[in-house]
Amino acid sequence: MEVQTLTRRHVTDTELRMLVHRSFGDRGEVDTWSELTGGTYNAAYGVTLTDGTDLVLKVAPPPDLKLLSHEVDLMRTEADFYRRAGRVGVPVPEVVHADFGREMINTDVIFLSRIPGADLRQVRESLTPAQVAAVRGEIAAHAALLHTVTGPAYGYPLRGSRSWQPSWRAAFGAMVDDILDDAVRLGSTLPRTPSQIRELLRRHADVLDEVRRPALVHFDLWDGNVFVEAGNTGPARVTGLIDGERAFFGDPLAELVSLTLFRNLDDEPEILDGYASAGHGRLDLTDSGRRRLALYTCYLYLIMCIEGATRGWDGPERAEFESWLAGLLEAQLDGLDRTPVR
């Protein structure tokens, strides 16, 4: 079922053709185009020009929507992410043209090169277990390369938020404060009060001081954001990592949360092995490392529990999904409750 959300700013045929012509001039003639489904935040369109160029047009939400605190100018973060990641050899879309002037349709738009293949979520069931394991190891190796990019500070870039800090403890604390403030503002139902969650996460914040370099972290590498190609013979291969708008500078360990979304990392040794195979360091899950990972898991679950209130998505499906997420969040919080602070 395709979920309709307030954040997807759909364009008309006239608007799309005007955007293409404004961006590419005389070569900007549209042959075919169609809306790409599956996302719930940006609107996206596959566009083929008459010269055969295949592009993806992404359209940001209307700027007057009340979104989560960290969802400010996300498309600008996405463009910055692709440029930084591409420079170190991570397979990501090329930024073909970005228009942040908001003159034509009053929101940000970006044209990207189209990544071949299909997302892993769609093709996973057609792959053998060995192929899936190899793909997950390859994703982790690309993440290791991504993490060689160092930022000028910690937190979310390009938006002047209070998360932009000189230490990871301060940045992550501000990220948590923002999402919990959003929960209060939006009247979200959580398994514990925001003040209780804030106090518990701060109790374990000492482990964040182990992070000494602000690495570029995608933080949304679930199967829907990884494109792969798989032939009839031979291994499947990763062709690109997409949707980098939620990237931040921080702890590389945080990448494991979405890489293993709703799965158990201990059941997939190929992820840590694949990361180490890239030759850019290892992710060691020491006791303190596991505490950091639990903090980041709580943070992602908080976002997922709360964001539905900004999307205009209502009904029993949303209520059931958020109730299930709240149970996962409570399990993480309970685990932190039972973990001694050293």
- The CATH number linked to 250 is 3.90.1200.10
Domain boundaries, position 74: 13-113
> Domain end: 72, 97, 113, which one?
113
> Domain end: 113, 135, 162, which one?
113
The pTM score is 0.95
Show Cβ contacts of residue 6 under 8 Å, excluding neighbours closer than 6 positions: 61, 65, 310, 311, 312
* 167 shares its domain with 96: no
Strands (E), 60-174: 95-99, 109-113, 118-119
Question: For the chain, which residues score pLDDT lower than 70?
Answer: 1-4, 232-233
* 74 shares its domain with 175: no
CA torsion sign, 124 to 126 to 132 to 136? Answer: negative
* pLDDT 10s digits, 134-147: 999 999 999 999 99
* 106 shares its domain with 165: no
* pLDDT 10s digits, 20-62: 999 998 777 999 999 998 777 899 999 999 999 999 999 999 8
Q: How many residues would you count in the chain?
A: 342
Residue type (1 letter), 104 = M
* 133 shares its domain with 281: yes
Residue 67 in any domain: the answer is yes
Residue 165 in any domain: the answer is yes
Q: How far is residue 104's CA from residue 109's CA, in Å, rounded to a whole number?
A: 10
- Tally of domains in the chain: 2
* 229 shares its domain with 282: yes
Q: How far is residue 159's CA from residue 285's CA, in Å, rounded to a whole number?
A: 32
pLDDT of residue 1: 44
- Residue indicated by tokens 């932009």: 164
* 269 shares its domain with 151: yes
Residue type (1 letter), 175 = M
CATH number at residue 94: 3.30.200.20
Nearest to 198 by CA among 224, 179, 221: 179
